[in-house]
Structure 1
Amino acid sequence: MHRRLLDYGITVLGLLASGVWGLMGPLHSLLMRLRWKRFRMYQFKTRPDDVFIVTYPKSGTTWMQMIAWQLKSGGSLDFRHIEDVVPFIDRCGPAELPRLEALESPRFFKSHLSYEDVPPGARYIYVVRNLKDVAVSYYYHHLLMEDFRGGLDVFVKMLVNRRTNGGSWARHVLSWLEHRNAPNVLFLSYEEMQADLPGTIRRVAQFSGIALDEERLPLLVEQCSVAFMKKLEARFDPRLSRRGNFVRKGETGEGLRELDATLQAALAAEEQQVLDRARVLDSSGALERLLRGEAPTNGAATEAEPQKQQKMG
């Protein structure tokens, strides 16, 4: 979209949204999307060594932010809030540009955007998580953050009908799945991270161009554990308050334990879209198993990372 046309559209929509009360909601939503498009396309400039941590909500975003910062800082805990050092780019605008520009390379950013909407020209770590576990974690997030009063069944219906802020889980995952083998994309699963945190830290370091001091690895593993992060709760909670635990259990399998057969069936169609595409992309079944939440045990994915790093230069 041409910059001048985009600016004109934003100006007109801003006037309409402030003057026509009945259209305020839809117009405001469109206005925000256009402002983000302008920011992404014309105002914010990526660097080749920028790394975007991208997930569907409640898929390990905060955890990966901590891993990234621990690697970049060598294990420092000198930060007020994780988004001070790994900003949430989706909520940034022109006013934040000086702060973003002042960050030392490699800059890490958090995002929940699809592949098509994320700022181009950088590196991307995408973390996918089993949909059933996402649903349960997202439900508790809504109870804590959105003052949600419904039950788990109500929330699952909202998720399936795409009435949560994250939109369609399938559409989000599919947008990144198609690019999982690109040299500037590191495609991980939450279950991989949990099964092998030291290996995950090594992969993220190599992908991000950070030299890892193996002697400091035990410290990084400890400080990136859920138990340790819970001790620093306020540094990860967006509200900076203590109404409840933002860092919860970090477990896998909650979906199977907390969702009854009816709720699991409600999520099946959304999940199946991704699994069907995975079979087409990888006939071996490895990709499908990863998306189902079955962490690999042979280390094959880890061994492939050096080749990807060489391609990236």
Structure 2
Amino acid sequence: DARKASAGSNSDGKQHPNNRVNPEIELMIARNKKMNSAASIRNGQGFTPRRGDIFIATYAKCGTTWTMQIVHQLRSGGDMSFEEITEAMPWDVLALDCGQDLDADQKFTPRAFKSHETWKDIAKGEGVKYIYVARNPQDAMLSFYKFLPQWMQVDASKITIEEFVDAIFAGASNSGQIWNHFTDWWSQRENPNVLWLFFEDLKADLRGGVLRIAQFMGIDPDEELLKRVVEMSHFNYMKEHQSKFDDHFVFDKVKKQMGLEHATHKATKVRKTGGTVGQGKKSIPPSILKRLAEKWKDVVEAQTGIASYDELKKAHKASHPNFYS
């Protein structure tokens, strides 16, 4: 179970020089394991969504909050009355711990939910729709490294990228590992109720991405709404309103069970250097890039025959030509 992590071993089966136990890593893992209760996980995976409900389903740090903002603005026509976006769009496996009822009506329709679950584990129902956003694993890993220690209130300066990757390979993420996540959702790429998107495409053409999401939701936006949603989901706008996108609602609800009862939330998602494309390749040491490439080969290529992330994007575009026209 990916939720039962230990930092003592590397699941890629290779020996790595950095095998000492870093107390900051141990603390990060311990707190992350307590972030959601078993009952809340069962509740999130087991509830029955309604026809028309939408899940924004991604691996962590692949554009989840960004896509949530797009979906919310499309369905609401420009609402920013929420205190923090997870209040308006519950996180499936954390809803119970946050005191949210997944069966309740939402202020706007369609109802929408955040998820980091695999296709195998996510809640399913007749006519339910899923938006899946993929991101280059190098960039996702770098973003995760800059985000998770801060969320877990540990000293990020004492954790190296090598130690962080070791921990993720050993199962430290509640979302499992990105490569397995990709392959599980890739199996649904032809499912008409699953919209596959790529983070890099959203960055390159936000308007086009908003239009695709709107069409998938069954919304035909006029030019005024389209312009408004593009503006409100732009990095600069979200940066100006970053407290509405920083998980503080979730943190305040679960910090006691994490042993952080008196802590103040510090993590931010809309960072000055965040949301970039290609930064992972520039910033991650070559030895780690090699391990990430090996992981792709061992998991994604072994299951799909697709040799790289760029090839995955090409394969999707080749099989969905009308989508990209």
Normalised by the length of structure 2, the TM-score is: 0.74
Displacement of 1:93 after TM fit?
2.3
Query: What is the CA deviation profile of residues 115-167 of structure 1, one whole-angstrom value per residue up to 9, with x for unaligned ones?
Result: 11111011100111111001100000023212243111111121222222322
Displacement of 1:305 after TM fit?
8.1
Aligned to 2:57: 54
Q: How does 1:252-271 map to 2 (within 5 A)?
A: 252-271=277-296
Displacement of 1:192 after TM fit?
1.3
Give the Cα separation in 1 of the matches to 2:194 and 2:319.
17
The residue identity in structure 2 corresponding to 1:164 is: S
SS of the residue aligned with 1:144? Answer: helix
The residue identity in structure 1 corresponding to 2:105 is: E
Displacement of 1:243 after TM fit?
3.5
Q: How does 1:181-200 map to 2 (within 5 A)?
A: 181-200=190-209
Match of 1:126 among 122, 132, 139: 132
Kindly indicate whether the alpha-carbon contact (under 8 Å) linking 1:195 and 1:295 is maintained by their aligned counterparts in 2. Answer: no
Answer yes or no: is 1:279 the counterpart of 2:283.
no
Structure 1, gaps ≥5 residues long: 1-24, 307-313
Match of 1:289 among 306, 310, 321: 310
Displacement of 1:110 after TM fit?
0.3
Query: What is the CA deviation profile of residues 211-246 of structure 1, one whole-angstrom value per residue up to 9, with x for unaligned ones?
Result: 212233222112111121011111011126674542
Structure 1 residues 247 and 105: alpha-carbon distance in aligned structure 2, compared to 1, 3 A threshold = same
Which stretch shifts more, 65-74 or 87-96?
87-96
Structure 1 residues 260 and 186: alpha-carbon distance in aligned structure 2, compared to 1, 3 A threshold = same
Which stretch shifts more, 219-228 or 200-209?
219-228
Answer yes or no: is 1:107 the counterpart of 2:111.
yes
Give the Cα separation in 2 of the matches to 1:166 and 1:98.
20
Task: Name the structure, 1 or 2, with higher relative contact order (CA <8 Å, separation 6+).
Answer: 2
The residue identity in structure 1 corresponding to 2:123 is: P
Match of 1:206 among 200, 206, 215: 215
Structure 1 residues 290 and 92: alpha-carbon distance in aligned structure 2, compared to 1, 3 A threshold = farther
Query: What is the CA deviation profile of residues 238-286 of structure 1, one whole-angstrom value per residue up to 9, with x for unaligned ones?
Result: 1266745421221011111111210101212222222454436xxxx9x
Give the Cα separation in 2 of the matches to 1:106 and 1:40.
19
Kindly indicate whether the alpha-carbon contact (under 8 Å) linking 1:89 and 1:110 is maintained by their aligned counterparts in 2. Answer: yes
Structure 1 residues 92 and 242: alpha-carbon distance in aligned structure 2, compared to 1, 3 A threshold = closer
Give the Cα separation in 2 of the matches to 1:275 and 1:288.
10
Structure 1 residues 207 and 108: alpha-carbon distance in aligned structure 2, compared to 1, 3 A threshold = same
Q: How does 1:214-229 map to 2 (within 5 A)?
A: 214-229=223-238
Aligned-residue Cα RMSD (Å) equals 3.0
Aligned to 1:246: 269
Aligned residues: 270
Displacement of 1:85 after TM fit?
1.4
| Higher share in helix | 1
Give the Cα separation in 2 of the matches to 1:279 and 1:39.
32
Give the Cα separation in 1 of the matches to 2:187 and 2:102.
34
Give the Cα separation in 1 of the matches to 2:268 and 2:42.
34
Q: How does 1:33-72 map to 2 (within 5 A)?
A: 33=38, 36-37=41-42, 40-41=45-46, 44-72=47-75
Give the Cα separation in 2 of the matches to 1:182 and 1:78.
34
Normalised by the length of structure 1, the TM-score is: 0.76
Give the Cα separation in 2 of the matches to 1:56 and 1:152.
19
Give the Cα separation in 1 of the matches to 2:50 and 2:275.
32
Answer yes or no: is 1:154 the counterpart of 2:179.
no
